[in-house]
Structure 1
Amino acid sequence: MQQILVYADSLSWGIIPDTRGRLPFEQRWPGVCEMALRQAGQDIRILENCLNGRRTVWPDPFKDGRDGSEGLAQVMEMHAPLKMVVLMLGNNDFQCTHDNNAWLSAQGTAKLIGIIRQAPIEPGMPVPEILVIAPPAIIRPKGAIAHKFNGAEKRWPGLTEALREVAAEHSCHFMDAGTVTDASKVDGIHLDMDQHNVLGLAVAQVIQPLV
């Protein structure tokens, strides 16, 4: 069995837009992806490490542990050996507590790539492949998260191309989730159940020839 780690935020955790509820594994995109790969005959296990509010490299002033660079090396040790790590982060870098642009957020992902490749895994274990997924574009935030993401839709543009450049520079695989789904119209950030399904199937198609 080959293991794939999804290191991500609430879009992958499966939060139901404008609620504190969570979709079950088989309905959130990592679960959809695993089931599709298994149905295609690949012995794959998807490991989720998805945390609501996780940034790439910035802390949350109100909640501990949201700097994605902290503890990533230990997560790599914990789950090794890994065939692949999927990174889908960035949206929380544009919360109103940060004055970031797309380039800065993408540099955060670049730091995470370096951590993955330098993690102290056991001798003889493989350094995993990395798939960088650009999240769907933030649209005007609504509902309970509107204040937290105030103005994010104006700072987000350019992230997809910045992440594409980072992935190419660091010889990582890349996928633009925005080519298969938009963000939820309910809150402008997250994914609805049908969008999780579409994304999970699309990610499986990208991963299938790589593992």
Structure 2
Amino acid sequence: MKTILAYGDSLTWGYSASGPTRHAYADRWPSVLQAELGEDFHVIAEGLNGRTTIYDDHGADCDRNGMRLLPTVLETHKPLDLVILFLGSNDMKPWIAGRALAARQGMERLIELIRGHAYGFEYAVPKILLVSPPALCRTEDEDFAEMFEAIEESQKLAGAYAKLAKQLGISHFDAGSVAQTTPLDGVHMDAENTRAVGRALAPLVRDILNS
């Protein structure tokens, strides 16, 4: 059995802007990916609302720093065949970073952590799939509009991540190629779009793990 860790933020957790609430389990992209891949694969959903790549959010009610939490998560779920990194939207908050370059640098650090982790027991270093989130969109929700104002910067994430992936020799997928954010809050995906991400990732994940 191949084990896949889906390490992300609210887009992986399954935040639904209508309500707000959480998408049904079957609608979340890691669940859809699991269903598409079948019983020979095990997808571990590690989504946390507000998670950043490497940055602190001192106003949060728990630790949202993806860099600080990642080593523990890797150790918890080893051995792993593939880690899917799906982060960057929260880095767009103005008090976090607000720049695509900052998110790219954060992702580079996470990739270094995955490659340098001491897995032990002669376990292999997992392969890595870097996923860029769909770009932010305009919303009438005043709080979210102010919180995620860096729409133009978010549009740069796919290109920045693709360049990083090529540089480091890992795989990349642009979630914005199959999904878009909802204008209800400008940052999250509705059920149809999050399902689309899971379906689109399945053939790529198979290719990665069979290569």
Give the shorter-chain TM-score range. over 0.9
Structure 1 residue 174 displacement after superposition: 0.5
**Aligned residue number for residue 165 of structure 2:** 167
Q: Which residue of 1 aligns with 2:156?
A: 158
1:25 correspondence with 2:25: yes
Aligned to 1:2: 2
CA distance in 2, matches of 1:73, 1:99: 22
Which of 200, 203, 206 is the matching residue for 1:202? Answer: 200
Structure richer in helix, relative to its length: 2
Structure 2 equivalent of residue 192 of structure 1 = 190
Q: CA deviation at 1:95?
A: 0.9
TM-score (norm: length of structure 1): 0.93
Q: How does 1:1-211 map to 2 (within 5 A)?
A: 1-38=1-38, 43-63=40-60, 64-143=62-141, 144-149=143-148, 151-211=149-209
**Counterpart amino acid of 2:12?**
S
Answer whether contact 1:80 1:121 (CA < 8 A) is retained: yes
Give how far 1:154 is off. 3.1
Task: Give the letter aligned to residue 131 of structure 2.
Answer: I
**Percent of pairs identical after alignment?**
33
TM-score (norm 2): 0.93
CA contact (8 A) 2:53 2:106 kept: yes
- The answer to whether the Cα contact below 8 Å between 1:141 and 1:153 also exists between their aligned partners in 2 is no
DSSP-derived class of the 1:76 partner? helix
> RMSD in angstroms over aligned alpha carbons?
1.4
Change (3 A) 1:89 1:176: same
Q: Counterpart of 2:42 in structure 1: which amino acid?
A: R
Label 1:86 to 1:99 Cα distance change in 2 as closer, same or farther (>3 A): closer
- Matched residues in 2 for 1:118 and 1:73: separation? 10
Distance 1:19 1:120 in 2: 42
Q: CA deviation at 1:141?
A: 4.0
- List, as ranges, runs of 4+ consecutive aligned residues in structure 1 with deviation greater than 3 Å: none
Number of residue-to-residue matches in the alignment: 207
Q: Distance in 1 between matches of 2:139 and 2:118?
A: 39
Deviations 1:133-166 (A, max 9, x none): 11111112442523322x2213323111111111
Output the CA distance in 1 between the equivalents of 2:139 and 2:12: 18
Residue 100 of structure 1: CA displacement? 3.0
Which whole-Å deviations, capped at 9, do the CAs of 1:185-207 have from their partners, x for residues lacking one? 32211110011111110011211
What are structure 1's unaligned runs of at least 5 residues?
A: none
How many angstroms does 1:70 deviate by? 0.3
Render the CA deviation track for 1:18-58: whole Å, top value 9, x for unaligned: 534111221111100110011xxx60111011100001011
The DSSP-based 3-state class of the residue aligned with 1:48 is strand
- Structure 2: which 5+ runs fail to align? none
